[in-house]
Amino acid sequence: MTLKEKIESHRARVGIIGLGYVGLPLACEFVRAGFAVTGVDNDAAKVDGVNRGISHVQDVANEVLAARVGAQALTATTRPQALKECDAVIICVPTPLRKTRDPDISYIVAAVEGIATSLHRDMLVVLESTTYPGTTEEVIRPKLESTGLSAGKDFYLAFSPERVDPGNPRYNTRNTPKIVGGVTPQCTEMAAALYRTAVETVIQVSSTQCAEMIKLLENTFRSVNIGLVNEIALMCARLDLDVWEVIDAAATKPFGFMPFYPGPGLGGHCIPIDPHYLSWKLKTLNYYAKFIELASEINSNMPHHVVTRVVDALNTLRKSVKGSRILVLGIAYKRDISDVRESPALDIVKLLADKGAEVVYNDPHAPEIAMDHGILRSAPLTDELLEGCDCVVIVTNHSDYDYSRIVEKARVVVDTRNATRGVRAAPGKILKI
């Protein structure tokens, strides 16, 4: 039976390397579509949890995962040798930046080396991890073809960028359109055939490089536009204007304007990182990506601006930052999720602590965080805590918070998300970025 026949009859076994926020929801969708799935991850605790039906990913409920595992259609393992039994393998591993802001594709390389030992004829290999244009052709293809098999002839190779938005109540793995580009037209079609079984919309593009570039464009677009409104926020602060009022009014124009909103900085797995993959690639071609670098500079300095606003707030109380007790509300990088990766709140906590403040935080979704000086734990959001702090800084606008109560009990509030819109307060009690 050919791979295409196995896909059409849902008899193909799908292997997924990396069972994080991308891989685990994808695995569940393929099981829902009727496929047997083998998940591979080098985190033994994560693998054990998956096999017991306990989800570590917010977008996958325990009951959903337990049903998938209970049907014996989803199994997890730390052994990459299990990929030998798979007909299709999808790579969903992290692609962080090094401290020098160079791409770190070591997780991709390790995954491909594991696949190479299990590669067989008529196998499909798809990379979903975000990376720079050319990775699939220049890094993955040579490693797999070193086995003696040829891409497009003996096996299929494609790139399909993950587009997961953690915590999004409307768009998920199934209904977010899937981009697919292969190293040959046959590779593109085979990957598209697989994804069509589990995803509502599949869009084929001409090459892996095109598919890789699409993902970077999407997140660079957001990074640059957020950088623009963050700079507008800095301008408005100097002009004594409400940036939120300015943006909301501009957004009434029915054409030619798309509203983006300022904040304390960029966070998460994509927007702070992905544009640097593109910038790095272009530097190898002697091209300097000016917009990307400028937006990054503005966005990365926003935590410092937040601290400046805290200084302004404390000045109204005739207090210095040193010795003040400051409450940070929300440590996750965005609303109503537990993910703290690259969260600007971490920078804000560190900057305030470095200035001598006693910093405590509350986040109903993130009970503890690891800092350089140890573990910080979320403090219960009591009236006593709110009243006992010199300043409250709203960094993440979780829907759990009662902002009227927070403003009432706090001495002064710095609001980085416009979360207190419509809340009545004495003049000067709320400072916004």
CB 233 within 8 A of CB 433: yes
Structure tokens belonging to residue 22? 């991308």
| Cα distances (angstroms) measured from residue 123 to each of 40, 149, 150, 154, 156 | 17, 10, 11, 8, 6
Catalytic residue among 28, 92, 236, 270: 270
Q: Which amino acid is at 345?
A: A
Q: Residue 380: CA atoms inside 13 Å, Cβ hemisphere, count?
A: 3
Q: DSSP strand E in 255-389: where?
A: 325-329, 358-362, 368-371, 374-377
Q: Which amino acid is at 290?
A: K
Task: Enumerate the β-bridge partners of residue 157.
Answer: 125
DSSP state of 83: G
Structure tokens belonging to residue 357? 């403040």
Structure tokens belonging to residue 108? 């991709």
Give the largest Cα separation in the chain, rounded: 78
**To which residue do tokens 């304390």 refer?**
264
Structure tokens belonging to residue 25? 């929801």
Alpha helices (H) along 73-199: 106-116, 135, 141-145, 185-196
Structure tokens belonging to residue 353? 């602590």
CB 123 within 8 A of CB 88: yes
CB 92 within 8 A of CB 129: yes
Q: Does the annotation mark 236 as catalytic?
A: no
* Buried/exposed 75-98: b ≥16 CB within 10 Å, e otherwise: bbbeebebbeebbbbbbbbbbebe
DSSP-assigned states of every residue in 195-227:
HHTT-S-EEE-S-HHHHHHHHHHHHHHHHHHHH
CB 269 within 8 A of CB 341: yes
CB 92 within 8 A of CB 127: no
Q: Give me the active site residues, please.
A: 270
